Structure 1
Amino acid sequence: MDRRSFLGAGIAATGWLALGSAWSQQGAPNLGAPALPSPGMRRIRLGAFEIIALNDGALRRPLGEEFVRNAPLEQVKALLASQNLPTDYVDIPFTAFLAVTPAGKFLFDTGFADNGPPTTGRLRDNLAAAGYQPEDVDHVVISHYHGDHINGVRLKDGRLTFPRAKIHVPAPEHAFWMDDARMAGAPQAMQGAFQAVRRVFGGLPPDRLVPFQPGAELAPGIRAEAAFGHTPGMCVFTLRSEGQGFMYMADTANIPSLFVRNPDWSVVFDMDADLARQTRRRIYDQIIRDKLMVGGFHFPFPALGHIEAAGSGYRFNPVA
């Protein structure tokens, strides 16, 4: 992305992605607080793998004109109302996924740890409820560098949350955010996001930070796939075992009731809205063609289900 792309990339939204504190400032107490799932973990079998959804919490924000960048607010509210959902706010959950495989335990994205607002930071407790401790995680796999996905790599005091884990990162994403010249030329609103990336990944020894290219097989049955647009180098991950398939969609879609139902709408957090729209349709079609179960980082807990075609868009059907 060049500077011109930055200016059309939802820059104002990117600032809160640095550490999450702006979420607290944007909150509207009169709207109440989001309900958090209890228990905040759910297991499914995938052949010889086990997939565990681990909720890190949720945040509530008022629904304004800025949230869907290319649709009138009235249309957005109408789509929510047609699904019997609130129309004055949106709840945005955060759910990471642990894959327990013969090759080790792989955690896909991290949430906030203790760096976020009060209704976040639940992942470690839910990991314990699933029978695991942070020391049990062998690999942390990052989909992209927005703060709600990476801040949980380190605790507020700088210690690594998962002290034994190798940290696998998409090489194109890492190159973008760690480019000092790009950071220096970025608008002020994005400086916090660049600094957060350096807080998380700076100082990691080479044997702990493992860049991968889109298309790479991270372990037997686990493959990264390019899903650019939401950020310059975001990846999704397909897991396959004994004829069964699952895709961790990361932020291919934010709220499924909006951006699965209408994949041509652009959430404020998409850095390249046009490319993100193309990616959504490509990924959804692949999921349907390959009959994959899916997990979405911002989907309502347990954030697991299936996607099917519906009219000119798609529909997310959650697991029971």
Structure 2
Amino acid sequence: MNRISTVLRASLLAVALATTAGPAHAHPPIAAEQAAASFAQDRADILAMAGNYKVRFDMQESTRWDAGYTPLAAKTSGGYESVRVIVDDGRRIVLQHLLVVQADGRDVVIKHWRQDWEYEPARVLVYADTGTWRWETVPEAMRTGRWAQTVYQVDDSPRYGGWGQFETQGGVRRWRSNWTWRPLARRDAVRHPVYDRYLAINRHQITPDGWIHWQDNTKLGPKDGKLAPIVQEYVLNTYTRSDSYNARAADEYWAATRDYWAAVRQEWERVARERGGIAIAEEAETGTVISARLMQLADDVLTGKSATPQASAAARRLIAETTRQP
């Protein structure tokens, strides 16, 4: 019996040591040779997200962490979306999403979210608190071979940022972020729920038919003077290649407004760089308090009501006047 107990204890100790040993990070640093071997495929996977798609958005509050909360019923929606590469300089790729919807029998384009990818970043602009984004340093040991993804709202103000790596598990390749803070999406913000932010992991995976964007969101809110988890949510956005809508409308919109939006991006970037981040008031219905005005200026350029230089100057003034030190 004593010999059996000794063997059992030794086995348990070996398991414990194997479990606790190793790096503190869920993903260890990437060797330079491995990073170099993966770089071309990483770029190909990011660029493969460009195209014309039918999109399905699946959202489900799945598990409550607060006994007094009732999870929302599952919700699905969808539409058509064109994704275009607007910057590609090798180590930085920018993808602009453009929704195409039918309204009064005609195609209407709505500038949607934007995703910026940067290889081996030193820092990332991340969500810090209500209406506030700050620069976060990426640990030096975790930069090699990794990509940052920063997501921007419809008016090109920041939404969330994170860094992560491409990996293959079970034969499936994906990019997976670190844990990132996010502000509420409009679908939640307009309900003024008990939670006020998300802590999330973000994944992107290329499929035979397009790609998927998978989110694992912990929704948190203030409780007894501190942040507390309220409910878990999963979101699966499926992008399936499609030629069943007028993608040309998206390209025509972008051709007419891209110089204006380039000026808007540059102003947001200037503010973030010079002020150490961005702070701006937000509204549940629109995002930033100037979102609707920035979008209207783009429409004015599209319809010829305003020239690009005048609209760009007005947008720069709006951003400069409404942002503050974070």
Range of TM-score over shorter length:
under 0.3
TM score, norm. by length of structure 1: 0.28
More strand by share: 2
Structure number with the bigger relative contact order (C-alpha 8 A, sep ≥ 6) is 1
